[in-house]
Structure 1
Amino acid sequence: MWGALWIVYLVWGSTYLAIRISVDTIPPLLASGVRFVGAGLALYGYLALRHGAAHVRVTVREVAYAAGVGTALVGANGLVFVAEQTVPSGIAALVISSVPLWVVIMRKAAGDHVSGAALAGVAVGFTGVAILLLPGEMPSGGSPFGFTLIVIASVSWAAGTFLSPRLVLPRNSFVSTAVQMMCGGMVMLVAGVLAGEPTRIDVGAFSTASVIAFVYLVVFGSLVAFSAYVWLLQAAPISKVSTYAYVNPVVATFLGWIILDEVMSGTALVGAALVVASVAVTVREQKAGRRAESPNHAGRRKAA
């Protein structure tokens, strides 16, 4: 179990660094789209070959709902790709880690029971996010537009997470994930075309580091780590699995500091600590509620 958990910790935590490196020379929306379409096709094809066509058969309704969830989740990832052209990877990871806080707000708005401790965690967490986004705390080179995209991405990611257990998705979690990745990835490809990215492609200008980082995202970020995550959801206590939500930003921040020389001020470090601590409290408070409201089908999965 711990081997799979460390894969999720380290690989998902390192994807923010890999994204930052890949978008140095590769168009962000097309990169995000190709990443998820490729990973989705690979996963779907593997499942079909391993278990047969009947195993991967889905209804039109399931595809429609999976496409909606996939667009929210993969779309959030696409925004992270765009934002990390100017936003440091560690800051991006810390703001994205606020996803559980947004989910609590959505659950409260939907009439679900939310504990007072969870709401207190949300308040503390958003205080931390606000500190990170203070104009004086933005790292040099960071743009307000990029930081805005990261916040929008966290809301989109939360929406996909919130809606997943409430919709009729393919029963098999791997099939559901493959469909979500393919559908969401195709939306990103269309967005990239509309943004004019194909006219700016210069394969000869792609750096070796960007290409290696992109391949890493497809193989390890979208296939290896996610497979480990799904296995953990079936084999390990949710209290342990959910710890990735507050370990990943720590890993991302450390790697950004060691490899890319990303530095945060003392004030920003306080904000980061508030975010991580609040997510830890919120996730622990909400895990019992998530188990109670989950349907029989496995739709609650993260496409990362």
Structure 2
Amino acid sequence: MLSNRLVVTALAPAIWGTTYLVTSELLPPDRPLLAAVVRALPAGLLLTAMTRRLPQGDWWWRAFVLGSLNIGAFLALLFVAAYRLPGGVAATVGAVQPILVACLSAGLLGERLRTRTIVAGAAGVAGVSLLVLRADARLDALGVAAALGGAVVMATGVVLAKRWRSPVSPLATTGWQLIAGGLVLVPFMAVFEGLPPALTGANLAGFAYLSIIGAALAYPLWFHGIRALSPTNVTFLGLLSPLVATALGWLVLDQRLTPAQLAGGLLVLAAVIAPQLTKEKKPCASPSSAPPVPSAAR
């Protein structure tokens, strides 16, 4: 039986799965870093204003590290991979993230590395490849390295977000991370892209959706799930993003689905659900973690 918290957390990657549709239909072309900055920075400022909490002590540098890993470095590497690889190759390489999180959780959080988890991770990679990979896809060494690097930095960020338990609500901590990640991306956006000459109403609507729904709503759900549940189980939910993106392409953009894609979608669902059916053990307490503090923002 899937827990309510798990179902709520799954809303985050499902929302992120709408990003491709919003980007292709509403945003200005060739501005992925601008989209990332607009997605992260305003949402972070909004959440910080709502919670009225700033980092204290070690949380100044911890928030910067987490924001750089989960938002800044991840989106920058994703940008490189997207430009040098077909989307299917980048998504397939990124699907190794649950396996990376499982291995890091075993080393840093004391979680048991189960055979079922590794098998489900491999099934997830296979399912995503069937779902989005094309026969004529080309490989590029730098692009593959960037896609793999993106999976590594976000996997590290997810595990550290669990290990470094914040003394404040997930809403406040998420705001700090979004601000840090957005600020890390600003100079890259300025150098490599700049600003478009003009923005249409559709562009503004797309940016508003990414910032409010894709960041200010989705990221707190994601990090609240990481705080409350096993990060390995939560990360498997990320496989829902390419599944939702493919489904929206079929429903909205009239894209055709092949039998291989349907099989891949079923395999992805199996990979997402299988790890959740194992009764998880609480991770060993970490000496560097702060003691749990009740949070008003749940």
Q: Considering the TM-score relative to the shorter chain, is it more than 0.5?
A: yes
Q: 1:143 to 1:34 in 2, by over 3 A?
A: farther
Q: 1:227 to 1:88 in 2, by over 3 A?
A: same
Structure 2: which amino acid aligns with 1:288? E
Partner of 2:119: 120
Partner of 1:155: 152
Q: 1:241 to 1:155 in 2, by over 3 A?
A: closer
Partner of 1:43: 47
Partner of 2:170: 173
Structure 1: which amino acid aligns with 2:115? G
Task: Indicate the SS of the match to 2:280.
Answer: helix
Structure 1: which amino acid aligns with 2:174? T
The 1-side partners of 2:258 and 2:207 are apart by: 30
Unaligned regions of 5+ residues in structure 1, if any? 49-55, 299-304
Structure 1: which amino acid aligns with 2:203? S
Give the C-alpha shift of residue 38 in structure 1. Answer: 0.9
Q: 1:48-127, aligned counterparts within 5 Å?
A: 48=52, 56-74=53-71, 75-80=73-78, 83=81, 96=94, 98-108=96-106, 112-127=111-126
Measured against aligned partners, the alpha-carbon deviations of 1:36-61 in whole angstroms (never above 9, x if no partner) come to: 1111011101111xxxxxxx142242
Give the C-alpha shift of residue 185 in structure 1. Answer: 0.8
Structure 1: which amino acid aligns with 2:197? V
Q: 1:166 to 1:4 in 2, by over 3 A?
A: closer
Partner of 1:197: 193
Q: Within the alignment, does 1:213 sit opposite 2:206 as a pair? A: yes
Q: 1:122 to 1:237 in 2, by over 3 A?
A: closer
Give the C-alpha shift of residue 270 in structure 1. Answer: 3.9
Give the C-alpha shift of residue 115 in structure 1. Answer: 1.4
Structure in which a larger fraction of residues adopt helix: 1
Partner of 1:34: 38
Measured against aligned partners, the alpha-carbon deviations of 1:73-108 in whole angstroms (never above 9, x if no partner) come to: 113234445655687878866765543222113234
Structure 1: which amino acid aligns with 2:56? T
Partner of 2:18: 14
Percent identity at matched positions?
26
Give the C-alpha shift of residue 69 in structure 1. Answer: 1.3
Partner of 2:296: none
Task: Indicate the SS of the match to 2:17.
Answer: helix
Are the equivalent residues in 2 in contact too, given 1:83–1:147 (CA < 8 A)? yes
The 2-side partners of 1:203 and 1:59 are apart by: 40
The 2-side partners of 1:151 and 1:172 are apart by: 31
Give the C-alpha shift of residue 7 in structure 1. Answer: 5.3
The 1-side partners of 2:281 and 2:228 are apart by: 19
Q: 1:28 to 1:9 in 2, by over 3 A?
A: closer
Measured against aligned partners, the alpha-carbon deviations of 1:270-303 in whole angstroms (never above 9, x if no partner) come to: 4454344223323444x724666585448xxxxx
Are the equivalent residues in 2 in contact too, given 1:99–1:155 (CA < 8 A)? yes
Q: Name the Cα RMSD after superposition.
A: 4.1
The 1-side partners of 2:70 and 2:227 are apart by: 21
Q: 1:170 to 1:71 in 2, by over 3 A?
A: farther
The 2-side partners of 1:283 and 1:117 are apart by: 10
TM-score, L = length of structure 2:
0.73
The size of the alignment, in residue pairs, is 283
Q: 1:10 to 1:117 in 2, by over 3 A?
A: closer
The 1-side partners of 2:166 and 2:223 are apart by: 15
Give the C-alpha shift of residue 186 in structure 1. Answer: 0.6
Q: Within the alignment, does 1:277 sit opposite 2:259 as a pair? A: no
Unaligned regions of 5+ residues in structure 2, if any? 294-298
Give the C-alpha shift of residue 183 in structure 1. Answer: 0.6
The 1-side partners of 2:227 and 2:63 are apart by: 21
Task: Indicate the SS of the match to 2:252.
Answer: helix
